[in-house]
């Protein structure tokens, strides 16, 4: 039986040759994402913005009449409503701000939700209510703080772990790769204006853990090769390590994608944003394992001498025996 | 490598099969099959986002706890000073600025007063709950310590959670979840409940019932202007009562609270057909109530619920039986709600709804169906890819993958974990990432074979050398799953649980189980070459 080999044996792609242009491209993408987030902002859902959110499905229509809904609900007097598609094209989330004082009176908030529902149903008998949420401004603010804290803590913890298991340069490389992956995922949500909810933060936290899997495999090989090929030039050694592990990188990423992509297209529409975030995050994560995590090591001065033990185990034993350590 | 002692094989199989079998009842349920009732029936519980239902986040107002404690302290101090032998006279009592302060008319009483008050400052625990300061030798200032307030809030929240639980149980809804969250919050989740209004009416009612004497000396013009005479307070009539829109003055102290009730029942008054609530006091409450009504016969007292007057009837005769009837322009429903609330006890602290979510039932069923289909397609794609790439070793990995999914499901069912909508995504990620370990191992075996190692040595090195990266990768996965669990509540935590358990089961099946499969085959077939 002939087995499938996605990466032929003895593949030798000179990845590192193009490290500067690709690194610049990555920097442009990162900064571009930041600008997109700053200019467009993220389309916060009710979790982070607070307010009253109604989710509806128009069961008899292929696309939701978003502009007319927006117009109609604006006349109710709760300010400019946020009406956006979520999940399928015939599903919308409608968010209105709560007037001052309404937050203290939950019945008032609920009544606003009911009025929105009644207004939509008056025009569209096929509208099905999927959800009706009230999140007070205080709770929404806490969600925002917790989300930022969790993202930073997770990135720091993971990088710290890589530092402990490898060397500090590897920790910095991992941190940089994470910033890259997270920034581009955020940029995607700023550009598309897909609803940014607690689920999306959950997706990004998952990306932080899983996008490093490939990086770790490459790093593990670099460490092994650094000890094996003491005379090799660093660029060549990185290329060798990346090529040797390329089949793994491709396969591990591919198994994740073939599992995720059916979920993206055939799964529950309300999971679309989350699964899209994970898929994109892991995709750029694979790229950053090759093009960010590796070259950064060169620039941080990792050489084949970095892993030469300065003191052999024998020396140490002798020292202990002599009572010096 | 080839050497797998019997005990090791047995324990691996036992663990795998035991955890996998726990998944069967849930699978039977999804397939619509009947599960024999004689067998244990652990089921994966579905989160609100899949089952539909209501979620409420209630928050206590800690300021109210402070005010309540201060009022209790004032009452205690007044009583202690009055009952002292000889009586200690005090004046200029104030509860402003979160402090109780008063002047002793005779500065010589200071040590006696201190001696009487100090024992009451120590609560049930070792926490020092109050601080006593003497100003100018004659004024005593009592302030609440932070530790004392926190202790009180903690106690209040514990009993508030209990009260909320009792009230929701009275509604008869199925499987509500009621848990304390953080310092001042309670999460209430009721699957299947579409209109949470009744629920909110019930848990939003503090049900603090008070009987206070009406201050007959207060000038009606002052009362309507909101100016209370010293020692009295202005309380408005509840909406819907005949007096709605106006207010009366009642004596601040000397009343009693409806804390000591043994029962409350909604009834119909046989004389006028109105809905009323009948309450029964316990012995202690009955005695207090008898004393209050005996001492004040002929005078009116106000029945106050949550700071609003329901009615202010005259005490025609002492009420000694420990039973009383409350009328307040109730509808049959509102009378019933009040009876439930009074029966379950007053909330020790008012609760406000700060977050409320309702999920429709159709969305959840649709999500499960689509999620299962997508998971099926994804699994088949992963299986096809693994077998096409690694042949026999791919088959072993896929058998392990099936056990992995079963174990994950079984552990969730038996551990009482909730499957949420993001949890479905967690399952799919687990399926895609679980075979990563096998990819790393198999690729290493390929490499070692290419370097000319013998079959057994290559397999052995493959498992050994790959384990480092597998360990590191799974540990970073665990870190992010932990961050998710700490960060998220509800659906996000459901996602974290799936990832967390999935990481553990996938290392177990992907590394240990496949190793046993491979070793068994190698020992039996003794191949000189392997296709990998």
Closest CB to B439 among A146, A251, A271: A251
B473 pLDDT band, cuts 50/70/90, is very high
Within an 8 Å CB–CB cutoff, is residue A43 touching chain B?
no
Q: Where in B34-83 does DSSP place strands (E)?
A: 45-46, 53-60
Contact A259 B477 (CB under 8 A): no
C-alpha pair distances (Å), A51 with each of A108, A213, B357, B373: 12, 38, 12, 34
Judged by DSSP in three states, A50 sits in: coil
Which residues in chain A are contacts of B367 at CB distance < 8 A? 268, 270-271
Which residues in chain B are contacts of A133 at CB distance < 8 A? 355-358
Which residues in chain A are contacts of B375 at CB distance < 8 A? 262-263
Whether residue B426 has pLDDT greater than 90? yes
Q: What is the pLDDT of residues B172-220, one digit of tens each?
A: 666 788 888 888 899 888 887 777 777 787 787 777 888 888 888 777 7
Beta bridge partners of B400: none
Closest CB to A205 among B379, B447, B480: B480
Beta bridge partners of B90: B104
Cα gap B105→B385, rounded to integer Å: 91
Long-range own/partner contacts, residues A62-68 (CB < 8 A, 24 or more apart)? A62/A89, A62/A90, A63/A89, A63/A90, A64/A89, A64/A90, A64/A91, A64/A92, A65/A124, A66/A92, A68/A123
Identify which of A203, A196, A226 has the alpha carbon closest to the alpha carbon of residue A285: A203
Q: What pLDDT shows up at residue B123?
A: 62
Q: Which of A3, A50, A58, A113 to mutate to test the interface with B (most CBs of B within 10 A)?
A: A3
Residues in chain A: 325
Cα gap B148→B459, rounded to integer Å: 64
> Which residues, other chains included, contact A87 with Cβ-Cβ below 8 Å and sequence gap of 6+?
A268, A269, A270, A271, A272, A273
Within an 8 Å CB–CB cutoff, is residue B473 touching chain A?
yes
Half-sphere exposure for A249 (CA within 13 Å, toward CB): 27
Beta bridge partners of A94: A54, A83
Contact B491 A198 (CB under 8 A): yes
Identify which of B357, B200, B54 has the alpha carbon closest to the alpha carbon of residue A45: B357
Q: Where in chain A does DSSP place strands (E)?
A: 43-44, 51-58, 82-86, 88-96, 127-135, 195-196
Q: What pLDDT shows up at residue B121?
A: 76
Give me the phi and psi of B155, to 5 degrees please.
-60, -45
Taking the CA atoms of B385, B389, B395 and B401 in sequence, report the sign of the dihedral they define.
negative
Residues in chain B: 532
Closest CB to A198 among B377, B473, B488: B488
Q: Which of residues 16-55 of B touch A (CB under 8 A)?
A: 49
Closest CB to A278 among B366, B388, B425: B425
Average pLDDT (B469-489) is 90
What is the average pLDDT score of chain B? 86
Closest CB to A206 among B370, B371, B480: B480
Whether residue B77 has pLDDT greater than 70? yes
Give the global pTM. Answer: 0.78
Chain B residue at shortest CA distance from A166:
B472
Contact A254 B532 (CB under 8 A): no
B411 pLDDT band, cuts 50/70/90, is very high
CA distance B205 to chain A (A): 13
Whether residue B510 has pLDDT greater than 80? yes
CA distance A280 to chain B (A): 13
B126 pLDDT band, cuts 50/70/90, is low
A103 pLDDT band, cuts 50/70/90, is low
* Residue-wise DSSP of A124-185: -TTEEEEEEEEE-HHHHHHHHHHHHHHHHHHHHHHHHHHHHHS-HHHHHHHHHHHHHHHHHH
Contact B357 A110 (CB under 8 A): no
Q: Which of residues 166-225 of A touch B (CB under 8 A)?
A: 198-199, 201-203, 205-206, 208-210, 212-213, 216-217, 220
Contact A131 B432 (CB under 8 A): no
Chain B residue at shortest CA distance from A146:
B487
Which burial class, exposed, middle or buried, applies to B331 when counting CB atoms under 10 A from its CB (0-12, 13-18, 19+)?
A: exposed
Whether residue A55 has pLDDT greater than 80? yes
Which residues in chain B are contacts of A6 at CB distance < 8 A? 389
Which burial class, exposed, middle or buried, applies to A128 when counting CB atoms under 10 A from its CB (0-12, 13-18, 19+)?
A: middle
B437 pLDDT band, cuts 50/70/90, is very high
Q: Which of A208-217, A227-236, B185-194, B236-245 has the lowest mean pLDDT?
A: B236-245
- The packing angle between helices B332-343 and B146-171, to 10°, is 130
Q: Ranked by mean pLDDT, which of A96-100, B110-114, B326-330, B434-438 comes out on top?
A: B434-438
CA distance A311 to chain B (A): 24
Question: Pairing mode, if any, of strands B45-46 and B418-419?
Answer: parallel
Q: Which of residues 133-152 of A touch B (CB under 8 A)?
A: 133-136, 138-139, 146-147, 149-150
Is A62 in contact with A89 (CB distance < 8 Å)? yes
CA distance B128 to chain A (A): 31
Give me the phi and psi of B45, to 5 degrees please.
-85, 145
Which residues in chain B are contacts of A126 at CB distance < 8 A? none
Contact B356 A110 (CB under 8 A): yes
Q: What pLDDT shows up at residue B125?
A: 62
Phi-psi region of B329 (alpha: psi -120 to 50; beta: other; left: phi over 0): left
Which burial class, exposed, middle or buried, applies to A109 when counting CB atoms under 10 A from its CB (0-12, 13-18, 19+)?
A: buried
Percent of chain A with pLDDT over 90: 38
Average pLDDT (B84-88) is 85
Q: Which residues of B19-49 are buried (b: 16+ CB within 10 A; e: fewer)?
A: bbbbbbbbeeeeeeeeeeeeeeebebbbbbb
Which residues in chain A are contacts of B496 at CB distance < 8 A? 202
Average pLDDT (B285-302) is 85
Contact A247 B443 (CB under 8 A): yes
Long-range own/partner contacts, residues B78-83 (CB < 8 A, 24 or more apart)? B78/B253, B80/B116, B80/B117, B80/B120, B81/B113, B81/B116
Closest CB to B355 among A6, A104, A136: A136
Average pLDDT (B129-135) is 85
Cα gap B466→B387, rounded to integer Å: 20
Which residues in chain B are contacts of A107 at CB distance < 8 A? 197, 200
Contact B378 A258 (CB under 8 A): yes
Q: What is the pLDDT of residues A202-211, one digit of tens each?
A: 999 999 999 8
Q: Which stretch of DSSP H or E encloses residue A203?
A: helix A198-210
Within an 8 Å CB–CB cutoff, is residue A256 touching chain B?
yes
């Amino acid at each position: 039986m002939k087995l499938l080999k996605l990466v032929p044996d003895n593949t030798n792609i000179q990845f590192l040759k193009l490290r500067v242009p690709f690194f610049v491209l990555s920097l442009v993408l990162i900064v571009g994402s930041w600008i997109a987030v700053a200019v467009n902002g993220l389309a916060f859902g009710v979790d982070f913005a607070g307010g009253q959110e109604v989710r509806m499905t128009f069961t008899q229509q292929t696309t939701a009449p978003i502009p007319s809904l927006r117009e109609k609900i604006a006349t109710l007097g709760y300010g400019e409503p946020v009406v956006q598609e979520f999940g399928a094209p015939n599903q919308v989330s409608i968010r209105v701000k709560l007037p001052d004082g309404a937050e203290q009176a939950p019945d008032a908030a609920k009544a606003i939700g009911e009025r929105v529902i009644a207004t939509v149903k008056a025009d569209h008998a096929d509208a099905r209510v999927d959800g009706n949420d009230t999140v007070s401004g205080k709770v929404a603010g806490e969600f925002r703080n917790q989300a930022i804290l969790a993202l930073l803590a997770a990135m720091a913890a993971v990088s710290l772990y890589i530092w402990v298991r490898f060397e500090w340069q590897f920790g910095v490389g991992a941190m940089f790769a994470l910033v890259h992956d997270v920034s581009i995922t955020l940029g995607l949500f700023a550009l598309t204006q897909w609803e940014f909810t607690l689920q999306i933060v959950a997706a990004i936290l998952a990306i932080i853990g899983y996008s490093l899997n490939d990086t770790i495999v490459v790093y593990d090989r670099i460490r092994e090769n650094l000890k094996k090929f003491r005379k090799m030039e660093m660029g060549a050694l990185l290329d060798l390590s990346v090529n040797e592990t390329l089949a793994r990188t491709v396969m591990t990423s591919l198994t994740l994608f073939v599992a995720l992509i059916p979920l993206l297209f055939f799964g529950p529409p309300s999971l679309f944003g989350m699964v899209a975030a994970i898929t994109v995050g892991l995709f750029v994560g694979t790229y950053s394992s090759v093009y960010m995590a590796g070259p950064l090591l060169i620039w941080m001065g990792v050489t084949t001498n970095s892993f030469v033990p300065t003191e052999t185990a024998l020396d140490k034993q002798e020292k202990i025996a002599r009572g010096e350590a | 490598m080839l050497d797998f002692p019997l005990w090791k094989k047995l324990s691996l199989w036992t663990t795998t099969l035991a955890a996998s079998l726990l998944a069967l009842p849930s699978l039977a349920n999804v397939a619509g099959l009947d599960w024999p009732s004689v067998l244990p029936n652990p089921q994966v519980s579905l989160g609100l986002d899949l089952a539909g239902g209501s979620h409420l986040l209630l928050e206590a107002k800690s300021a109210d706890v402070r005010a309540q404690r201060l009022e209790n302290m004032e009452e205690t101090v007044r009583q202690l000073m009055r009952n002292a032998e000889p009586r200690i006279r005090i004046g200029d009592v104030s509860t402003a600025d979160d402090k109780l302060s008063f002047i002793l008319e005779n500065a010589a009483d200071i040590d006696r007063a201190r001696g009487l008050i100090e024992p009451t400052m120590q609560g049930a625990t070792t926490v020092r709950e109050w601080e006593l300061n003497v100003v100018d030798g004659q004024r005593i200032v009592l302030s609440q310590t932070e530790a004392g307030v926190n202790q009180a809030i903690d106690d209040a929240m514990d009993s508030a959670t209990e009260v909320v639980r009792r009230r929701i149980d009275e509604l008869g809804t199925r499987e509500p979840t009621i848990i304390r969250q953080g310092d001042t919050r309670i999460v209430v989740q009721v699957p299947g409940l579409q209109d949470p209004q009744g629920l909110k009416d019930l848990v939003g009612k503090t049900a603090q019932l008070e009987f206070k004497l009406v201050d007959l000396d207060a000038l009606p013009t002052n009362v309507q202007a909101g100016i209370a005479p010293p020692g009295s307070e202005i309380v408005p009539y509840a909406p819907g009562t005949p007096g709605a829109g106006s207010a009366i003055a009642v004596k601040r102290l000397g009343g009693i609270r409806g804390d000591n009730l043994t029962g409350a029942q909604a009834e119909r008054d046989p004389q006028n057909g109105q809905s009323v609530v009948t309450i029964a006091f316990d012995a202690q409450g009955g005695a207090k109530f008898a004393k209050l009504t005996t001492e004040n016969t002929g005078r009116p007292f106000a029945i106050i619920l949550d700071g609003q007057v329901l009615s202010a009837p005259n005490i025609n005769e002492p009420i000694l039986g420990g039973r009383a009837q409350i009328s307040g322009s109730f509808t049959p429903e509102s009378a019933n709600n009040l009876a439930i609330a009074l029966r379950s006890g007053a909330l020790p602290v008012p609760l406000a709804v700060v977050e409320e979510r309702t999920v429709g039932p159709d969305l959840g069923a649709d999500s499960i169906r689509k999620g299962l289909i997508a998971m099926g397609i994804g699994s088949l794609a992963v299986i096809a890819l693994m077998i096409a790439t690694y042949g026999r070793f791919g088959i072993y990995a896929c058998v392990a993958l099936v056990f992995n999914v079963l174990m994950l499901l079984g552990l969730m069912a038996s551990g009482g974990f909730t499957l949420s909508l993001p949890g479905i995504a967690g399952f799919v990620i687990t399926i895609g990432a679980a075979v990563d370990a096998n990819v790393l191992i198999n690729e290493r075996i390929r490499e070692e074979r290419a370097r000319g190692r013998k079959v057994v040595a290559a397999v052995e090195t493959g498992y050994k050398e790959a384990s480092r990266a597998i360990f590191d990768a799974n540990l970073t996965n665990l870190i992010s799953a932990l961050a998710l669990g700490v960060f998220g509540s509800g659906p996000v935590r459901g996602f974290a649980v799936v990832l967390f358990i999935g990481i553990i089961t996938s290392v177990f099946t992907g590394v240990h189980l496949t190793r046993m499969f491979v070793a068994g085959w190698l020992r039996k077939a003794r191949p000189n070459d392997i296709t990998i």
